[in-house]
Amino acid sequence: MYINLKTLYGVKKGMSQSPEDFFGWFLVLVILALVVGAVVYIIKKKLDHRNDNKPTPVPGHPGAIDHKYAHALEIAMQFFDRGNSALTDGSEAKLDLSKGLYDAGDHVKFGFPMAFTATVLSWAILEYRDQMEAVNQLEPAQQALKWITDFLLNAHPSQNVLYIQVGDPVTNHKCWDRPENMTEKRPLTQVNSSVPGTEVAAETAAAMASASLVFKTADSTYSSTLLMHAKQLFTFADNNRGSYSEKIPEVATYYNSTGYGDELLWAASWLYHVTADQSYLEYVTGENGKEFAQWGSPTWFSWDNKLVGTQVRFSYRNLKHGPSLF
Ligand SMILES: *[C@@H]1O[C@H](CO)[C@@H](O)[C@H](O)[C@H]1NC(C)=O
Ligand SMILES: *[C@@H]1O[C@H](CO)[C@@H](O)[C@H](O)[C@H]1NC(C)=O
Ligand SMILES: *[C@@H]1O[C@H](CO)[C@@H](O)[C@H](O)[C@H]1NC(C)=O
């Protein structure tokens, strides 16, 4: 330190360059080189370490991904897969209801939560498409979604008829078997204009509308079919108002609905996003919004309550950096 200072001082002052000064300079250079070398080494090590978990660059909102979650996503997608079972579901109504999802621990296909699952999966794909693509999970996600929407399309054979359940929950909850081996009867339950089910019809409309966005570019025919069914189901739900769990009390034990207003707004908001048709916007922001939306007092987002989802989706319109769904 003494030499350094002395040397620097000497140079600054333009003093004579004695051998002692040259030795001092040499030492300064060596120390500088060591310091620079150490700094470069540390930075390089840090960068290398970062590169180990380096997120793949993803262009779209909301940006980079973390690979450890990619694996979790992959496993979650596989969760939807199973062997063949219930291949004759729907046959008593001459429908193919062999696809779709069983409920959590049993083999009943409950239309209300199933449609909600499809809507949320669509939303996830729309929001994280680039990220899913970067980790090869876009295709599995779309296939899982289509497995549900194929079912929902077949469950809606005419404008005012929607099959909302396959299987008998009572007998199904009494047994413990694999779906591939089940022998229980698989009765069908429908809603229609005399026994309506506004929330289940509207949720199915939301599922189809959101899925029509997912498949818009990849399969425009399928996308249009989904949108057509979504519009019909929304009209059916809106024109024939009644809670499905009041009209068909058996379902209340399993997926009881506490109201259909949220599903009507939710479905209309998705239809607005897909079609940009102002009448859907007015539907949500006008009288129906006043009656059902509880603007400004969000609670939680669940298969029974979609008000928060509706508010979030509408807030996108005012967010500069939100997903460009509009
Ligand atoms: C259940 O189904 C599988 C095929 O999915 C079959 O291999 C097995 O023998 C069946 N078990 C019973 C008890 O029927
Ligand atoms: C309408 O749905 C109810 C409830 O599922 C059912 O009992 C009735 O048979 C259906 N109506 C027709 C015409 O199928
Ligand atoms: C279903 O929800 C309605 C409306 O909130 C409620 O009155 C009814 O008690 C609930 N039924 C069951 C079985 O939970």
Model pLDDT, residue 296: 83
Domain ranges of the chain: 5-12+21-52, 89-321
- What does pLDDT average to over the chain? 86
Q: In what order do the strands lie in the sheet with 162-166?
A: 109-110, 162-166, 188-191
Q: How far is CA 317 from CA 197, 269, 272, 299, in A?
A: 30, 12, 12, 21
Residue 84 CA, closest ligand 1 atom number: 5
Question: Would the pLDDT of 56 be above 70?
Answer: no
Average pLDDT value for residue range 153-180: 93
> Which residue has 């979504």 as its token pair?
230
Determine the distance separating the centroid of ligand 2 and the alpha carbon of 234, expressed in angstroms: 19
Helix (H) or strand (E) holding 165: strand 162-166
pTM as predicted: 0.82
Q: What angle do CA 297, 298, 300 make, to 5 degrees?
A: 150
Render pLDDT for 253-281 as a digit per residue (tens, 0 to 9): 999 999 999 999 999 999 999 999 999 99
Q: 254 in ligand 3 pocket by Cβ < 6 Å?
A: no
Residue 235 corresponds to which tokens in the numbers above? 């009209």
Q: 249 in ligand 3 pocket by Cβ < 6 Å?
A: no
Q: 256 in ligand 3 pocket by Cβ < 6 Å?
A: yes
Please name the CATH architecture into which domain 89-321 falls. Answer: Alpha/alpha barrel (1.50)
Structural contact between residues 43 and 36, judged by C-beta atoms closer than 8 angstroms: no
Render pLDDT for 60-110 as a digit per residue (tens, 0 to 9): 666 777 788 888 988 888 877 778 999 999 999 999 999 999 997 789 999
Distance CA 191, CA 304 (A): 18
Question: Would the pLDDT of 233 be above 50?
Answer: yes
Q: 83 in ligand 1 pocket by Cβ < 6 Å?
A: yes
Model pLDDT, residue 318: 64
Mutate to test the pocket of ligand 3, among 244, 256, 257 (most ligand atoms within 8 A of CB): 256
- Pairing of the two strands 188-191 and 109-110: unpaired
Distance CA 3, CA 239 (A): 93
Render pLDDT for 3-25 as a digit per residue (tens, 0 to 9): 443 333 333 444 445 666 777 77
- Pairing of the two strands 162-166 and 188-191: antiparallel
**Confidence band, pLDDT 50/70/90 cuts, at residue 55:** low
Model pLDDT, residue 238: 98
Q: 189 in ligand 2 pocket by Cβ < 6 Å?
A: yes
